[in-house]
Structure 1
Amino acid sequence: MAWIKIFESEADAQTQVPLTRTKALVVGGQEICLAHTPAGIFAVENTCPHLGDALSRGTTNYLNEIICPWHSYRFHLISGEECRGRTRPLKRFELETREDGVYVQLPD
């Protein structure tokens, strides 16, 4: 697993991904979706496992879920599970805030 710096600071992360918003990033050749809820910022795969739309085009809700814009499938950002179990869970990526920035952990 490799840790890759994606933001200069936690404040930078919160500015670039405002509360209730999402953002797509390509990190280490992999497209990920960052989602910001009151529980924090989460990193998940950007492709919905149902039919492949970009989750970064979706929204978040007060339940810490990201909602796919295509068919409104809801995925819990902490567990990755779809709320009704209709498709596989999202791949999730660990985030870590350090003195010199915010990092995401990606598989090698």
Structure 2
Amino acid sequence: MQWIKLFDSEAQAKDQIPVTRSKAVLAAGQEICVAHTPSGLFAVENLCPHLGDALSRGTTNYLNEIICPWHSYRFHLISGEECKGRTRPLVRYPLEVREDGVYVQMP
């Protein structure tokens, strides 16, 4: 496991990813999705487990869910579970805000 710096600060991350939005970023050669909700920042796989659309093109809501732009499947960013259990959970990645930046832990 390795920690990879994604942003130089929490402020920079939140400036680049406004609340209710998400962004695709590269970490260890893998594209992941960083999502921003009122509760903070979350990192998950970028491809929807349902049919593979990029979750980074979707939005987030006040329930800490990311909503796939293709078929509106909603995934809880803390548990990874799809709200109706129609597909497998998202792969989630630990995210840490540190004094010197925002880091994600990758396998």
**Bucket of the pairwise TM-score, normalised by the shorter protein:** over 0.9
Aligned residue in 2 for 1:87: 87
Deviates more, 1:74-83 or 1:97-106: 97-106
Counterparts of 1:38 and 1:61 in 2: how far apart (Å)? 8
Aligned residue in 2 for 1:56: 56
Aligned residue in 1 for 2:102: 102
Aligned residue in 2 for 1:19: 19
Aligned residue in 2 for 1:30: 30
- For the aligned residue pairs, the C-alpha RMSD in angstroms reads 0.7
**What TM-score comes out, normalization by structure 2 length?**
0.97
Amino acid paired to 2:5: K
SS in 2 for 1:13: helix
Deviations 1:7-50 (A, max 9, x none): 10111111111111110011111110011000101000000000
Displacement of 1:100 in angstroms is 1.1
Deviations 1:41-95 (A, max 9, x none): 1000000000000001111111110000111100000100000001000000011
Counterparts of 1:83 and 1:4 in 2: how far apart (Å)? 29
Runs (4+) off by over 2 Å: none
For this pair of structures, how many residues does the alignment match? Answer: 107
Alignment gaps of 5+ in structure 1: none
**What TM-score comes out, normalization by structure 1 length?**
0.96
Counterparts of 1:100 and 1:27 in 2: how far apart (Å)? 17
Alignment gaps of 5+ in structure 2: none
Query: What percentage of aligned pairs have identical amino acids?
Result: 79
Amino acid paired to 1:9: S
